[in-house]
Amino acid sequence: MAIWHSLSVEDVCGKMGSCPAGLTEAEAAYRLEKFGPNEFERKGRTSVLDVFLRQFKSLIIFLLFCAAAISLYLNDIVEAQIIFILLITNALIGTYHEYNAESALKALKKLQTQEVNVLRGGQEVIVPTKDVVVGDIIILRAGDKIPADGRVLESVLLKTNESALTGESTPVLKSMDKLPEKNALADRTNMVYSGTFVSSGRGVMVAVETGSRTEIGKIYHQIISEHDFFPLQVKINRFSRQLAKYAIAAIALFFVFFGYLLGPSWGFNMRQVFELGVAQAVSFIPEGLPIVVTITLAIGVSSMAKKNALTRKLQAIETIGGVDVVCVDKTGTLTINKMSVMSLFISRTEYSVPEDRAFLLRNGKICDPFDVKGFIQLMETGILCNDSSADKKSGKSIGEPIEIALVDYAANFSLVKDKYAVAHPRKGEVQFDQRAKHMITMNSDGNSHLTFHLKGAPEQVVGMCSWIMVNGEEVSLGGADLEQITSVTDRMARQGLRVLAFAQKTNQPNFDNLSKGYALLGLIGFQDPLRHDVPDALRRARAAGIKVVMITGDHRFTAEAIAREAGILTESSHLVMTGEEIDSLSEIELDRRVPNVRVFARVTSEHKAKIVTLLKRQKHIVAMTGDGVNDAVALNDAHVGVSLGSGTDVAKEASDIVLTDDNFASLVDAIEEGRHSSTNIRKALKYLFATNTAEIFFLLAIMLSPFWAGSLLPLALLPIHVLYVNLVTDGACDVTLATERKENHLMTQKPSNFSGPLFSQDVKRFVIVSSIFLFLAVFAVYLYYLNRKVSLGLVRTAVFTTLAFFQLWSAQNARTLKESVFSIGFFSNRYLTAGIAVSIALQLCAIYSPYLNVILKTEPLQLFDWAIVLGASSSIFIFFEILKFFERRGSRFLAG
């Protein structure tokens, strides 16, 4: 492969065979067919089938398949069908929402699709970016997004912003000269790169690499991979492994004891052993859990989308709820991503700029800018020593943010750049250089002489000045002035302002003597202001126990000032660390210090990835925001990667959530939605396992009945009953718990409440109390009907129905651990109310439908039987209301 930057323009053109007139349409079509479109090759995100199959990557799904297989083996076709329908339904719901998220992301990208100007057959034509091929001659103008990696053929003060690729925000001046082969990517100034932007000037390039072969494409394929597992996947799989272990052990022991050792002497036949064994297996598995989790997360996706957070992977919803550290970039997320003039230093005097930009403030007093001598001169230099421009079609400003801020501010006073540029045309210039840190333009003064306009870093500009303008007069620049300038510069920097100095030299006959003899006009402090809703969002995050860490490439003083204004730095949490310090500290020292740092300044993309790794190593759940290609590694490494809607495609592909409005407040809203989803999943767990555990107790009591009753009692709960309760009557209610309203105190709880095990202490307490109470009550009904000497069908129907109605009351109990159901509204969740109604209707069908009587082995209940069933089942609701009454008075029996 050719090393393009080391070749001359002539050699590059010779290899490409397209200069100077560009490719023919036929040749372009051939190359498009040969090399493919100018796009990244996506990994596993285009097929609906792939998304569908991804829904089955869970151990609990595997256990359900096993239960269905056992049912088929025993010829229980109905049970197997019910399980398979559940699994397919769950997968379809998950596919719908994940694929919708992918489609929304594609739509977002489609809105951002670019077109470029290329030479084809000697004619300038417009083609979509994806149709650019190797060898295309591309015309570059200010504001253009570069569509491919290319070698510069022509450069007229062409400068590109490569921050999306390198993280360095200073525009790079491009040349046509060939360069040494050993030059690093950042030093290949005769190359331009896909995904970067033309900040000023114009030029021509020839495309040398497209699609996945570009520098951005290489990075994409290095870092784009699925997370090994989301924390929710880990929790569910860990929980499923434990469940499988207990189920297999219990069923194995059951078959050994009751099938071979004790079974024959106790009167068990093998059919009974299999029926009880399958019933036990089905009771162990929470069949409704996968679909409840999927629907809960799907609801979270919809809620987050309304709050400008597009979720690309369902399980990221629950994960973000447990985040305890958010690493956030400053620019664009905390700030509005637009520079503004905030402070001026003119004629040895400081002025601040209020929101109403029509005047200045001096010591709190209003000043008319036109009364401040030197203000007009300062503005003139600001807009003449300036490369920003306006797009002719859209009117949008193009260029460096600070230069745009200068032009916008001057326009408030009818000082229009275009008019000044016509009156004082530019005759020459010295472009900004990272080492020299200044820019000079030589403009006509309207007569036969030139005025030199200088701007740059204060220390550089002041060093080139011999004079200072004071009230319109040039005065010798003395030691006291230098001290004042240094003091003002430091003060502005500590306020989070980026400071530039401005100077001019008049009546110059030629371009000689550019480096000295200037008169200092003043200093201007710029700031990318904080978003108005960020301080409140940070307070919410802090109240939620979330540590917000700001990561920026800005100067330490600037970072500190913004962090203090936002509320990230406080009296108790004020540690700041620079990228240089990260490089100098040992791993042991970093492990000790990083958890206490609130601001990282002057960091690179490598530092970001290292910070994420250090935080994860200390068991934090980390969210990371980013928008550039250079952020992709850190986004991919974090538990939850959060990209910005205005960011690069690579950053979006590496992320799990996209903030379509780029706003930190939307991220905090997303965390709250994640906590809401996590809470509702646990409510469903309480509900599901209360019955499952009671069923296990009930079946064990019957198995052991020869011990305490002297003979084997009849099996009142068949596997089909357990499945009907767990999937049909429960299934109408468990999913509706996913629609429970958001609790008021979600953002005042610790993150560990949401990042801990699924089977948390609260869930365990609820399940233990509920299942014991439920088992005792159902078993009492069972014994009561046995003693009445009624038919086995009626016994089964009474037990089966009591169990089903217990679950309806238990659904209300699971909604809250402290508050009375009546205080939140018994019917406030209309979906749950409808679910309970559907469950009752389904249970009535099970009792009174002749068809289901045969399948379920049930009999119709009489009015007296209903009194027993309803009295027994409602007792659990009364019992829990009493427990909650004591919880509200300080007891910690349920909530812990």
Selecting among 329, 649, 662, 730, the annotated active-site residue is 329
Type and span of the H or E element at 622: strand 622-626
Going by C-alpha positions, the residue among 458, 543, 439, 467 that lies closest to residue 500 is 458
Cis upstream peptide for 529 (omega within 30°):
no
Tokens of residue 374, six digits: 């030197």
**Contact by Cβ (8 Å): 565, 528:** no
DSSP character for 631?
A: G
Residue 444 CB neighbours (<10 A):
14
Q: Mapped to the 3 state alphabet, what secondary structure does 546-615 carry?
A: CEEEEECCCCHHHHHHHHHHHCCCCCCCCEEEEHHHHHHCCHHHHHHHHHHEEEEECCCHHHHHHHHHHH
Rounded distance between C-alpha atoms, residue 104 and residue 626, angstroms:
19
DSSP character for 145?
A: B
Going by C-alpha positions, the residue among 782, 798, 787 that lies closest to residue 862 is 798
Burial of 472 (0-12, 13-18, 19+ CB in 10 A): exposed
- 30 contacts: CB under 8 Å, gap ≥ 6: none
| DSSP-based three-state secondary structure for 786 | helix
DSSP character string of 269-328: -HHHHHHHHHHHHHHHS-TTHHHHHHHHHHHHHHHHHHTTEEESSTTHHHHHHT--EEEE
Task: Specify whether 329 is catalytic.
Answer: yes
Going by C-alpha positions, the residue among 279, 310, 363, 360 that lies closest to residue 701 is 279
Rounded distance between C-alpha atoms, residue 443 and residue 450, angstroms:
5
Rounded distance between C-alpha atoms, residue 459 and residue 439, angstroms:
13
Residue in the structure block whose two tokens are 């991804």 = 54
Rounded distance between C-alpha atoms, residue 330 and residue 498, angstroms:
14
Strands 473-476 and 498-508 come out as unpaired
**Contact by Cβ (8 Å): 810, 774:** yes
DSSP character for 62?
A: H
The region that residue 205 occupies, defined by phi over 0 for left and psi between -120 and 50 for alpha, beta otherwise, is beta
**Contact by Cβ (8 Å): 205, 156:** no
C-alpha 573 chain-centroid distance: 25
Rounded distance between C-alpha atoms, residue 622 and residue 615, angstroms:
7
Going by C-alpha positions, the residue among 605, 594, 518, 599 that lies closest to residue 557 is 599
Residue in the structure block whose two tokens are 């504001």 = 143
- 256 contacts: CB under 8 Å, gap ≥ 6: none
Residue 507 CB neighbours (<10 A):
11
- 290 contacts: CB under 8 Å, gap ≥ 6: 58, 60, 61, 64, 86, 87, 90
Size of the chain, expressed as the number of residues it contains = 896
The residues that are catalytic are 329
